[in-house]
Amino acid sequence: MPMLLGSKGSDIMQWRASVELVERLRERLDRKWARSTAREAESFLGAVIASVEEELSYESQLDEELSSLHRSIREAESPLQLQPIRGRYHEVVTAHFRRRSSVLALCGACCSLHDALLARAIELAEERMLQLGQGRAPIYALLVSGDRGREEETLHGNNRYLLLHELDSPRFFLFSRQLLLSFREAGLLAGEEMLWHGSLLEWRALLADGREPREAAGGAFLAPVTPFDIAPRPEPQPIQDWKWRLEAMADLRFLTGYEPLGAQALSAAALCIKEQKNRDPFMQVARRVITLPLALGRFGRWRLVRSGEHKGEIDLEELALLPMMMTLRAMAVQAGVHGGGSVQRVRALLERGALDVDLADRLLKAFQCFMQLRIESEIRTEQGGAFANPEEFSLERDQRIREAVEAVLSLQKIAYQKMVGQL
**pLDDT tens, 406-421?**
999 999 999 999 887 7
In this structure, of 25-39, 206-220, 222-236, 323-337, the range with the lowest mean pLDDT score is 222-236
**What is the pLDDT averaged over residues 200-206?**
88
Phi and psi for 143 in degrees, rounded to 5? -120, 160
At residue 27, the pLDDT reads 73
Q: How many beta carbons lie within 10 A of that of residue 22, not counting itself? A: 11
Which pLDDT band, with edges at 50, 70 and 90, does 100 fall under?
confident
Nearest to 204 by CA among 268, 270, 116: 268
Structure-model confidence comparison of residues 247 and 185, the more confident one: 185
Percent of the chain having pLDDT more than 90?
Answer: 54
Which pLDDT band, with edges at 50, 70 and 90, does 20 fall under?
low
At residue 34, the pLDDT reads 66
Q: Does residue 44 carry a pLDDT above 80?
A: no
At residue 237, the pLDDT reads 42
Q: How big is the chain by its Cα radius of gyration, in Å? A: 24
The residues spanned by each domain of the chain are 1-75, 100-275, 280-420
- Helix then strand then coil, in percent of the chain rounded to 5, is 65, 5, 30
At residue 29, the pLDDT reads 67
At residue 127, the pLDDT reads 95
**What is the pLDDT averaged over residues 156-172?**
86
421: amino acid identity, one letter: G
Distance CA(15)–CA(28), nearest Å, equals 20
At residue 298, the pLDDT reads 81
Q: Does residue 3 carry a pLDDT above 70?
A: no
Q: Does residue 229 carry a pLDDT above 60?
A: no
Going along 222-304, which residue ranges are E strands? 253-257
In this structure, of 20-29, 109-118, 268-277, the range with the lowest mean pLDDT score is 20-29
Cβ burial 66-92 (10 Å sphere, 16+ → b, else e): beebbebbeebeebebbeebbeebbeb
Which pLDDT band, with edges at 50, 70 and 90, does 210 fall under?
low
Which pLDDT band, with edges at 50, 70 and 90, does 230 fall under?
very low
CATH of domain 280-420: 1.20.120
| CB-based contacts of 196, cutoff 8 Å, min separation 6 | 160, 161, 162, 163, 236, 237, 238, 239
Percent of the chain having pLDDT more than 70?
Answer: 81
- In order of 203, 207, 338, 401, the CA distances from 271 in angstroms are 13, 10, 10, 38
- pLDDT digits over 122-163, tens only? 999 999 999 999 889 899 999 999 999 999 999 998 898 999
Which pLDDT band, with edges at 50, 70 and 90, does 347 fall under?
very high
Q: Does residue 343 carry a pLDDT above 60?
A: yes
pTM of the entire predicted model: 0.82
Which pLDDT band, with edges at 50, 70 and 90, does 232 fall under?
very low
How open is the CA angle 157-162-163, to the nearest 5 degrees?
130
Which pLDDT band, with edges at 50, 70 and 90, does 16 fall under?
low
**Per mean pLDDT, which of 57-61, 175-179, 217-221, 236-240 is the most reliable?**
175-179
Mean pLDDT of the chain: 83
